[in-house]
Each structure stands twice: as C-alpha cells, then as structure tokens.
C-alpha cells in the first residue's frame, strides 16, 4: 500500500533505520518447542518503541506473537494512556523497565466503544491506584477498567499478555 510505504519512509527519516523484530520461530511438530524472548531482545525492542513514541503520540507497541487464545505484546508509554476495558481479554503486565501508576476498577469517564467488546475512556473515577516498578507483575481480569498514568519524565516498558477469558 502506497500510504504504508510513505509512512515508513517518514518514520525512517525521523528515527533512522532500526532493526525489525526478529521473527519468532516455533516448530509445532517439534516436541517441547517454545517461544523465547530474552531480556536483551525485549529491551532492544523497547528502545525502538521509545523512539517511535517520541516521534509520535508518546506511546508505542508491537505484537510479538499472536496465539489462538492469547497474544504477547510489548508496550512503551511516555504519557498517560486511555482507560481500557476488554470484555473478553485479561491483561497480564510484566514491567520490564521504568515506573508508572495503574488505576483499576471504578467507573470509566466518557466511555466509548471502539469496537465490539473494547471500551476506551478519558479517566477512571473511584478506582484503586497502584504504583508499578520494574519486575512487578500485574493481572487485570477481563471487564476491569484500567489506565496507566505516567507522570513527568517517567516512562514504562511492559511485556503484555492478552489472555482470552471467555469463548
């Protein structure tokens, strides 16, 4: 698509050439095969996402691998995120670097459905605030409002597992 090519050229001009993520190779017919991302690889991809975020909206992410009932993603935030509610998917976050606050529960302010089962909003009223730091692991059940708050010069890089909880 012509627009994708032009967008890619503009991005290269802004942040330079960055390596594409290494493809994950899994042989389904090989007993005991597993997908494996080492910390250096995740942090290298995180540095690339940081550059994308700085050149854009302050946040960037990429899907590492899509599975039948879950997916592995990498997420960088240098600003507050929108409130998210996923009807069918839980989020499992592993903070790889940085820190942020996570607000969960409560009521979504200015809720809007962006697609079936996916709600976004501006903020949360009455939620619980938890401070997150490197190596913290957080499970947010399906249907639970949640929002990352990143203040000042803080940033956060997380491995995100989106796990389908309903059929």
Please provide the size of the chain in residues. 167
With respect to residue 29, please indicate whether it lies within any of the assigned structural domains.
no
With respect to residue 26, please indicate whether it lies within any of the assigned structural domains.
no
- Total number of domains constituting the chain: 1
Residue written as token pair 């998917």: 89
**pTM summary value:** 0.80
**Could you list the residue range(s) of the whole structural domain that residue 82 is in?**
2-20+38-164
Residue 166: is its pLDDT beyond 90? Answer: no
Write the CB contacts of 1 (distance below 8 Å, at least 6 apart in sequence).
none
Going by their DSSP bridges, the two strands 128-133 and 89-104 should be labelled as antiparallel
- Kindly report, residue by residue over 20-55, the tens digit of the pLDDT: 555 545 455 566 679 999 999 999 999 999 999 999
With respect to residue 78, please indicate whether it lies within any of the assigned structural domains.
yes
How far is Cα of residue 15 from the mean position of the Cα atoms in its chain?
20
- Which pLDDT score is estimated for 152? 87
CATH number of the structural domain spanning residue 10: 2.60.120.10
């Amino acid at each position: 698509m012509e627009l994708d090519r032009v967008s890619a050229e503009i991005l290269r001009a802004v942040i330079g050439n960055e390596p594409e993520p290494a493809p994950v190779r899994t042989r389904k017919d090989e007993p005991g095969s597993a997908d494996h991302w080492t910390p250096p690889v995740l942090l290298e991809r995180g540095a690339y996402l940081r550059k994308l975020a700085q050149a854009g909206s302050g946040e960037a992410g990429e899907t590492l691998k899509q599975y039948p009932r879950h997916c592995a993603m990498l997420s960088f935030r240098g600003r507050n995120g929108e409130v998210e509610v996923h009807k069918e998917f839980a989020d499992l976050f592993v903070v790889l670097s940085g820190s942020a606050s996570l607000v969960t529960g409560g009521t979504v302010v200015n809720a809007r459905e962006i697609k079936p089962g996916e709600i976004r909003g501006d903020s949360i009223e009455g939620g619980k605030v938890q401070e997150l730091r490197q190596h913290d692991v957080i499970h947010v059940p399906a249907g639970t409002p949640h929002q990352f708050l990143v203040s000042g010069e803080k940033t956060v890089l997380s491995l995100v597992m989106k796990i389908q909880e309903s059929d």
